[in-house]
Amino acid sequence: MRLLIVEDDPDLNRQLVSALSEAGYAVDTAFDGEEGHFLGDTEPYDAVILDLGLPQRDGISVLEKWRRDNRKMPVLILTARDRWSDKVAGIDAGADDYVAKPFHMEEILARVRALLRRSSGHAKNEIEVGPLRLDTKTSRVTVGGAPVKLTSHEYRLLAYLMHHQGRVVSRTELVEHLYDQDFDRDSNTIEVFVGRLRKKIPSDLIETVRGLGYCLGNSPDEA
């Protein structure tokens, strides 16, 4: 899952990147509204953390422009403004949630998990496909209750497929959502990671749909 952080405070930006990367996400960053708008407008993020008090272009106008351009990724706004009217303005501009500064990092992580769950149609932290279970809160994967050890890229790939279970996901989409902006992307590595996953989980859970991509769980044609 790939996130964008738009926050002009260098220390807070770095802390957010560290916590979210450690939680298993691919993370891109921007330090002003213009750069943040450009990235959110041109890259396919699963969620965005957006500060309201940004240089060059404020967060409200960035968010309003994204929504006018039909950019639908969930957005969590950060604000040092504690007035209820500012929070309402953010929600009305198209935000899905907000956190007032200062905040605990665990709250950010929990709210991001909730945004990702809701955007992919899941109500609980635990996502299950047959004997396979993913706990998004702990980043723990089990098969039949037994823990499965995964590398960071294997985990991101499996988590993305599980969030979008039953849907065919192309290699291009996987590349766009598994790697941050600076990563040297190569769609061939997706096949390598899928091969490794099939050795760690029941191999028939990930279906290769020829010419289209991969599907975890029953694809629409099989339903």
CATH of the domain at 77: 3.40.50.2300
pLDDT digits (tens, 9 = 90+) for 128-185: 999 999 998 888 999 999 999 999 889 999 999 999 999 999 999 998 888 877 666 6
* CB-based contact 4:43 (threshold 8 Å): yes
pLDDT at 217 > cutoff 80: no
Hey, how many other C-beta atoms are within 10 angstroms of the C-beta on 74?
A: 20
pLDDT digits (tens, 9 = 90+) for 16-31: 999 999 998 999 999 9
- Which residue, 66, 84, 119, sits at the end of a domain? 119
Range of the domain at 88: 2-119
Q: How far apart are CA 207 and CA 82, in angstroms?
A: 48
73 and 18 in a common domain: yes
pLDDT at 109 > cutoff 60: yes
pLDDT digits (tens, 9 = 90+) for 36-77: 999 999 999 999 999 998 999 999 999 999 999 999 999 999
Domain with residue 182: its CATH number is: 1.10.10.10
CA angle (22, 60, 28) in 5-degree steps? 25
Number of domains observed in the structure of the chain = 2
Note whether residue 92 is domain-resident. yes
pLDDT at 223 > cutoff 60: no
137 and 115 in a common domain: no
78 and 146 in a common domain: no
Coil, strand or helix: which one is 144? coil
Q: What is the pLDDT of residue 105?
A: 95
Residue with tokens 């769609």: 187
168 and 63 in a common domain: no
- The closest alpha carbon to 71, from 84, 58, 60, 62, belongs to 62
Q: What is the pLDDT of residue 180?
A: 75
134 and 101 in a common domain: no
pTM score, whole prediction: 0.83
51 and 92 in a common domain: yes
Q: What is the pLDDT of residue 222?
A: 47
What confidence tier does 194 reach under pLDDT thresholds 50, 70, 90? very high
pLDDT at 186 > cutoff 70: no
Of 60-64, 203-207, 211-215, which one has max mean pLDDT?
60-64
149 and 105 in a common domain: no
Q: How far apart are CA 164 and CA 212, in angstroms?
A: 15
Q: How confident is the model over 116-139, as a mean pLDDT?
A: 89
78: left (phi over 0), alpha (psi -120 to 50) or beta: beta
Print burial letters for 39-70: b (CB count within 10 Å at least 16), e (below 16): bbeeeebbbbbbbbbbeebebbebbebbeeee
